[in-house]
Amino acid sequence: MPSPPILLFLTTIASQPALRQRQEYLLRILQVKKIPFTSYDLASDEDAKRLWKRKAPLDKQQLPGILVGGKFPGTFADL
């Protein structure tokens, strides 16, 4: 059975060093473990922004965001 699709929601205009570090860490984990994923830049992709806002709970919409199989598994801290 194939793995559910993993969607990452990131931003290229991250001014906070902590946010950039979290994004890079998450990307590195998935790349090193060769886990397929699709990433979206919320700074330039309005459709991705709407999807993220629709799927993630209002109080947990911080970045980087993750959806697995279209469901919100938790925040970066939960990872």
The CATH-assigned architecture of domain 6-68 is 3-Layer(aba) Sandwich (3.40)
pLDDT for res 15: 83
Average pLDDT, the chain: 94
* Cα gap 16→7, rounded to integer Å: 22
List pLDDT tens digits, range 40-70: 999 999 999 999 999 999 999 999 999 999 9
Instruction: Find all residues with CB under 8 Å of 19, minimum gap 6, and list them.
Output: 11, 63, 64
pLDDT at 1 over 90: no
Q: pTM higher than 0.85, yes or no?
A: yes
